[in-house]
Structure 1
Amino acid sequence: MAENPSGSLLGGITPMQQMLASGTGALFTSLFVTPLDVVKIRLQAQRTPFSKGKCFLYCNGLMDHLYVCQNGNSCTAWYKTPTRFTGTLDAFVKIIRYEGIRSLWSGLPPTLVMAVPATVIYFTSYDQLRDFLRARIDSQGRYIPLVAGAVARLGAVTVISPLELIRTKMQSRQLSYHELRVCIQSAVAQDGWLSLWRGWGPTVLRDVPFSALYWYNYELVKEWLCTQFHLTKATFTVSFAAGAISGTVAAILTLPFDVVKTQRQIELGDMETLQVTTPRSSSTWLLMQKIRAESGTRGLFAGFLPRVIKVAPACAIMISTYEFGKTFFQKMNQERQLSNL
């Protein structure tokens, strides 16, 4: 977008102020939803014991244990079944009881490292693309938010995919930073640097449609709410409600891809920790069929409740904080311009 003589964008806000608004929203959102993300990933990553003759690594939430079963019965006397979660509330209770409340924020540092730059890239790109498309075609076409949201998310996902992989590993089970480094080094040595983008495909399949649906519905709901309450501009409450509604719809429709992404990323963990060559992952479609065959259709919607509980407030907090930040800077810039007259 072009800038006016004062250095502000035509929308009344500079790029740096736009980045500050989105970065602040990312910080608040990450602190709030990380516990829900931890529970969602734990529910999706639950494993059943391997069949006979297999070595496997399992985590009971406190430490990892390596077992080698020569047959299906010989290890039953000394093998304790890892903690199983029957639902969202059960997961919260057991994680706090056996691992401590701090475990609900496991993976928070890489979450913050990932969330802030990703959100800055994503929201700034979306606004710029949306306004660029509207200016070029001189239209308020409803498909513009859909296109802008999809393109902006594709770029952000590609940039932060390695950090997403690290965060998922840290949340799926407790790993020390040394174990995490060994795991990543093993993956790079075996499959090259592209292994750090494992899960990129299903992440794109989840996040790009999510973003397109989210922004499309957000603009529609926001416009509808403004009409209903006779508002010329969306308030904090309107942005909050529109973000929650559109985020919930998009989260439900894209949940199967979130399950596939989590499964593909955490499958590196067990064998890489043992420094054993891992088999190549199946395609997203084949992995979805495998999950459906093993766990039924419900398996593709594992972590449904914590994902919806997470996404709805996350989207609401993020977009309302972002819009509030932009409004704050717009007013500040206007007051500064008036004082200089």
Structure 2
Amino acid sequence: MTSQSALDSITPLQQMIASCSGAILTSLFVTPLDVVKIRLQAQKTPFPKGKCFVYCNGLMDHICVCENGNAKAWYKPRGHFNGTLDAFIKIVRTEGMKSLWSGLPPTLVMAVPATVIYFTCYDQLSAALRLRMGDQADEVPLLAGSLARMGSATLISPLELIRTKLQSERQSYRELSAIIRSSVHADGWLTLWRGLGPTLLRDVPFSALYWFNYEKAKAWLCQSSGSREATFSITFIAGALSGSIAAVVTLPFDVVKTRRQVELGELQAQNLTAQASSSTYTVMRRIVTENGAKGLFAGFMPRLIKVAPACAIMISTYEFGKAAFREHNRKRPASPLQTSST
């Protein structure tokens, strides 16, 4: 007879659907916050032609190259805002409600597949590692989180570089294959993973800390509330707490990665080779020289405000989706192969 735990398990496809739903909901909720933030930043320090800025909604970073003092979606230099609420109202009044989600399409195209790969790999790796690590099972979230993030970031990195080229050189998607061929012919296959190092420096430690703290916080909250299973509110709170801790600890890597992304984007906009770009270590040393050690922690509050709700929405939606699939599988009639004994 098949065990109850086997009936309660969910398939990788169901995990992918649950993570996809979480990524879409997170993008829908968090994108307006970053659209408003970019507009407020732009009016304080206008972006000149050829300069870049990084847009991030908690799931994916997007490099935006300014053209004639403008960028296609996120930055439109018109109007004056007196604060966050005033910016929300004026953007909706003058440009329409949909303008608050002007950065959504590239997020859905890239962040959703990356998130699906990441969360599904984490669950699959966790299940496999727990069987093999035995007494050291408490360290599984650290290892599984690191490996899952490393894999998803490596797979998505070529798409991120190509997307930046499409924007900076104003190419159409039909010319995508020509861009790939020209890049590979000029600099080799490794050019498609340009900028991966700074990404991994931030995202791998973030992922390891996030999953470790999330599993600990979820277990503690379940024990404190006397709940046998994690509820939506428990996973939401655990996700926000673990995301906040990971965001603060890895902030210096995020500052360096942002500066490095901007430099790479500007080089591509000017059709310069990436060899002229500074290394990660050089960027970090420059930041400390110009602004002191505190420069590595610039943007502390904006990052916290953005990452905490994004992590909370993503993980709670994902866990809710998995719980719904488990319940569905539990109620589904067993097949003859499942009910027969071997």
Compute the TM-score of the two structures, normalised by the length of structure 1. Answer: 0.74
Give the superposition deviation at 1:166.
Answer: 5.9
Structure 1 match to 2:143:
147
Structure 1 match to 2:72:
none
Tell me: CA distance 1:276–1:120, structure 2 relative to 1, closer, same or farther (3 Å).
closer
* Structure-to-structure mapping, 1:128-143, within 5 angstroms: 128-139=124-135, 141-143=137-139
CA contact (8 A) 2:22 2:318 kept: yes
Tell me: CA distance 1:88–1:122, structure 2 relative to 1, closer, same or farther (3 Å).
farther
The equivalent position to 1:336 in structure 2, one of 325, 332, 336, is 332
Deviates more, 1:102-111 or 1:122-131: 102-111
Structure 2 match to 1:116:
112
Write the distance in 1 (CA, Å) between the matches of 2:145 and 2:82. Answer: 33
Compute the TM-score of the two structures, normalised by the length of structure 2. Answer: 0.74
Tell me: CA distance 1:37–1:190, structure 2 relative to 1, closer, same or farther (3 Å).
farther
Look up the SS of the partner of 1:141 in the other structure. Answer: helix
1:51-84: CA deviation from partner (whole Å, max 9, x where unpaired):
xxxxx73489996239xxxxxxxxxxxxxxx89x
Structure 1 match to 2:67:
64
CA contact (8 A) 2:37 2:84 kept: no
Structure 2 match to 1:34:
31
Structure 2 match to 1:13:
10
Give the superposition deviation at 1:264.
Answer: 1.8
* Structure-to-structure mapping, 1:179-198, within 5 angstroms: 191-198=187-194
Look up the SS of the partner of 2:50 in the other structure. Answer: strand
Structure 1 match to 2:284:
288
CA contact (8 A) 1:202 1:261 kept: yes
Give the superposition deviation at 1:277.
Answer: 4.3
Look up the SS of the partner of 2:198 in the other structure. Answer: helix
1:271-299: CA deviation from partner (whole Å, max 9, x where unpaired):
43333445532221221111222233343
Structure 1 match to 2:237:
241
The equivalent position to 1:23 in structure 2, one of 7, 20, 23, is 20
CA contact (8 A) 2:36 2:88 kept: no
Matched residue count:
313
Give the superposition deviation at 1:91.
Answer: 11
Write the distance in 2 (CA, Å) between the matches of 1:96 and 1:294. Answer: 35
RMSD after superposition: 4.3
Tell me: CA distance 1:258–1:102, structure 2 relative to 1, closer, same or farther (3 Å).
farther
1:273 matched to 2:293? The reply is no
Look up the SS of the partner of 1:64 in the other structure. Answer: coil
Give the superposition deviation at 1:253.
Answer: 1.0
CA contact (8 A) 2:18 2:318 kept: yes
1:143-197: CA deviation from partner (whole Å, max 9, x where unpaired):
1111111111110110112344466789xx9985559x79x67866754553342
Tell me: CA distance 1:12–1:206, structure 2 relative to 1, closer, same or farther (3 Å).
same
Give the superposition deviation at 1:208.
Answer: 0.6
Structure 2 match to 1:322:
318
Runs (5+) with no aligned partner, structure 2: 54-63, 70-76
Structure 1 match to 2:260:
264
CA contact (8 A) 1:165 1:196 kept: yes
The equivalent position to 2:301 in structure 1, one of 290, 299, 305, is 305
1:60-113: CA deviation from partner (whole Å, max 9, x where unpaired):
9996239xxxxxxxxxxxxxxx89x9998499579949x957565344222112
CA contact (8 A) 1:252 1:304 kept: yes
The structure whose residues are more often helix, as a share, is 2
Give the superposition deviation at 1:31.
Answer: 1.8
User: What one-letter code is carried by the residue in structure 2 that aligns with 1:336?
Assistant: R
